[in-house]
Amino acid sequence: MQNYENIFSELAEKIKNLIADSKTMENIIEIKNKYLSKKGEFSLLMGKIKEAEDKKAFGEAFNNAKNKIEEVLNEKVKEFEAKKLEAQLKKEEIDITLPGNNIKRGSENPFYKVRKEIEDIFISMGYTVATGPEVDYDKYVFELLNIPKDHPARDMQDTLYIEDDLLLRSHTSSIQAHVMEEANGKPIKIICPGKTYRRDDDDMTHSHQFAQVEGLVIDKNINLGNLKATLELFAQKMFSKDSKVRFRSSFFPFTEPSVEVDISCFNCHGKGCNVCKGTGWIEILGAGMVHPNVLRMSGYDPEVYSGFAFGIGIERVAMLRYGVDDIRRFYQSDIRFIEEFNKKVED
């Protein structure tokens, strides 16, 4: 049998050396193309089979040599792949000794804290929270609340009209009107927090947009004493355990009698200070017994049912509670203000 190995060995050695010396995957591809592809230098040696006597032995010798080159080549490819993986792992390695990124914790606007606190206090007294539309019909904002068209009381709450009959609500009392309509003559015990809008000057204590929490209780035998006890409990939970409540007579078209409600000053406990402007009392809300006309219009017999209602300004409570001097601070999203406040609460 003829020995054909010599025919291939020289070129095979050269190729193996080239593979061994290659530095990159690109080198390997070049070698493959140049020597091992169909028309590559090594593959072309197969052509010499024509001259060979023992074609089978020639073929075997060629295949052996080619297989050995491929083995070396595959080893090298593996080596490169391992190196590549290693480099990638190194790159992605996390250095746990580096300082971390400081993620800034957000702070809740004090307005929302107070709104939630007010809600919680009334929920604990058995109230449910109701909401209603900010853009509402005249009927709900005024008429069902005993403020007919052209009534001078409308001037107290001049607001922003979308259409003749459609406006931004000037108070949350409009939600009362919706809830009474839906309740169909059944007892009610709700609070309604929400935004309200009025044509107003924007200064330290006024804003054209502010928020109220409305309260409404309708049932048999509800009286002014119930209202006072409710508001006193609210003041004690919100401001100070020994808070007292004082009623001064007032006017709202939808309540009769109507009262302006003061709480005893939680800062000086009645002695007089700058928070209560020296009077010992702080005005915080409007309230009263639901007017018989309002009850009647919403399908309640005023001879059988009675009720009380109140409207609390949320910003007003928040300003008192946290000593905020300017109502506009709640709306300006000034991080310094909000953060400062957060510190106060956490301390």
Which residues of the chain form contacts with ligand PHE (CB under 6 A)?
171, 173, 214, 252, 255, 286-288, 309-311
Beta strands of 68-187 (E only): which ranges? 128-129, 135-137, 161-163, 166-168
Nearest-angstrom CA–CA distance, 145 and 127: 21
DSSP single-letter state for residue 296: H
Report angle CA 216, 208, 337 to the nearest 5 degrees.
95
Residue with nearest beta carbon to ligand PHE: 311
Q: Are 41 and 34 in contact (CB under 8 A)?
A: yes
Q: Least distance to ligand PHE from the beta carbon of 189, Å?
A: 15
Nearest-angstrom CA–CA distance, 128 and 188: 9
What is the three-class DSSP state of 188?
A: strand
Q: Which is nearer to ligand PHE, 248 or 344 (CB)?
A: 248
Q: Which is nearer to ligand PHE, 76 or 228 (CB)?
A: 228
Q: Least distance to ligand PHE from the beta carbon of 102, Å?
A: 44
Q: Which is nearer to ligand PHE, 4 or 142 (CB)?
A: 142
Edge-to-edge strands, sheet with 135-137: 135-137, 166-168, 161-163
Q: Which is nearer to ligand PHE, 5 or 134 (CB)?
A: 134
Q: Least distance to ligand PHE from the beta carbon of 300, Å?
A: 16
Q: Which is nearer to ligand PHE, 68 or 154 (CB)?
A: 154
Q: Least distance to ligand PHE from the beta carbon of 126, Å?
A: 19
Q: Which is nearer to ligand PHE, 284 or 338 (CB)?
A: 284
DSSP single-letter state for residue 223: -
Q: Least distance to ligand PHE from the beta carbon of 325, Å?
A: 23
Q: Least distance to ligand PHE from the beta carbon of 247, Å?
A: 12
Nearest-angstrom CA–CA distance, 65 and 335: 76
Nearest-angstrom CA–CA distance, 304 and 199: 38
Q: Least distance to ligand PHE from the beta carbon of 120, Å?
A: 20
Nearest-angstrom CA–CA distance, 122 and 215: 9
Nearest-angstrom CA–CA distance, 27 and 19: 8
End-to-end, the C-alpha distance of the chain in Å comes to 98
Q: Which is nearer to ligand PHE, 15 or 284 (CB)?
A: 284
Q: Which is nearer to ligand PHE, 115 or 171 (CB)?
A: 171
What is the chain's percent helix, strand, coil content, to nearest 5?
45, 20, 35
Q: Least distance to ligand PHE from the beta carbon of 312, Å?
A: 8
